[in-house]
Structure 1
């Protein structure tokens, strides 16, 4: 295995990533002395595994970041619980579905919400984001070259209405909460999920048009020193 960390970002297809940083006070409560071995399996992309990667980095928790190529995937597909990725292995036990994985890791390291009600609010935002993700897929399929089509038409008819709906809802969360985060007074995995959209801001210049609060939210989340360093040197990928 190649070794990578947010300080050096030596990247390979099958790597161990660790953050050489002290755990925050909020994380220590969720960080037992003997930690399991974590292996995150996904494609060589940010995609549906990126939030979980960021959660591990924020916690200072070493994990194995296995990135399968398209040619490697068919031989491993039958090994996965639902025949899809991502999959998280915890001491060899498999957990599938991206939101279930992110929620589990967030709970382990204190980024799921500080109260049961806050956890439910975070989950509700993640579920709403999943609806958005489904709605905008026709646009991203064209943007990323998976399908042919008129990108401007998809932007206007598919992406913009879904973006407006989601961002209007979440702006209200930010205004009511008042901390700069979507829920509570600290970062949760819902914040990471939404802020990762900022990756597309160069390809979608109007991403935050009419929603300055969402732009500020992404800036706040991505200004975290650990995340900032990771974003600067993480493996480049189309999505």
Structure 2
């Protein structure tokens, strides 16, 4: 069996869907977490592919970019979709998530840059909330057509994991209320009810992002 090492900060962020895929598939991996400001990332950055995290190392072979990592693992472990059509829709949903994250990232960066609450509130109301509402409309449309409760096909794919984790992050940042989004809340509940995922979610570090 290959050896896997996932390098990221001590946050869920862009690495959590990959972590969940490892636990779902019951595949061991090294979950290497850095702490912001402890100097570890500064030492590793020049050697990291693209100079970014997360990156996944498989038997010494580095894979950059969170979406590429997730798709790679989903294909290896059988969670990419059962047909080419399901696979391309799972890809499209994750690409839509990335589009939304371009807006949400503005708020995250403002938070870590120490911006005032007034500045963060302005970004939230003018940038994040309009993007979130459009994003939720797309996801709700898919779930309303679904016969399984999953976003694609009749079983879990990496798209369900990515979206469920994003919902948790939005909830922790007061941007998701389960009672206002019953379809999305039900999706997350369905994903988190899978025993291997539930076990990890209950045990993992609790972080805002």
TM-score, normalised with respect to structure 2: 0.90
Show CA shifts across 1:145-201 (max 9, x none): 434142443332222211111111111111222210000111111111110123232
Q: Which residue of 1 aligns with 2:19?
A: 53
* 1:67 and 2:19 correspond: no
**C-alpha distance 44-102 of structure 1, shift in aligned 2 (>3 A):** same
Distance 1:202 1:82 in 2: 29
Task: Pick which of 211-220 and 96-105 moved more.
Answer: 211-220
In the TM superposition, residue 236 of structure 1 has moved relative to its aligned partner by 2.8
- Map 1:44-193; keep pairs closer than 5 Å: 44-70=10-36, 71-142=39-110, 144-149=111-116, 150=118, 151-193=120-162
In 2, the alpha carbon distance for the partners of 1:58 and 1:206 equals 25
Instruction: Tell me the secondary structure at the aligned position of residue 11 of structure 2.
Output: coil
Conserved in 1, the CA contact under 8 Å of 2:3 and 2:58? yes
Match of 1:228 among 166, 190, 198: 198
Distance 1:189 1:176 in 2: 19
Tell me how far apart the structure 1 counterparts of residues 108 and 193 of structure 2 sit (CA, whole Å): 26
Higher helix share: 2
Q: CA separation of 1:92/1:53 partners in 2, compared to 1, >3 Å: closer, same or farther?
A: same
CA RMSD, 1 decimal: 1.7
- C-alpha separation between the residues in 2 aligned to 1:73 and 1:87? 12
Higher mean displacement: 147-156 or 112-121: 147-156
How many aligned positions are there? 204
Q: Which runs of 5+ in 1 are unaligned?
A: 1-34
Deviations 1:34-75, CA, capped at 9 Å, x for gaps: x21111111121111110000000000001111123311111
CA pair 141-77 structure 1, distance change in 2 beyond 3 A: closer
Name the SS of the counterpart of 1:88 in structure 2: strand
Specify every segment of 5 or more residues in structure 2 that has no aligned partner in the other structure, as ranges.
none
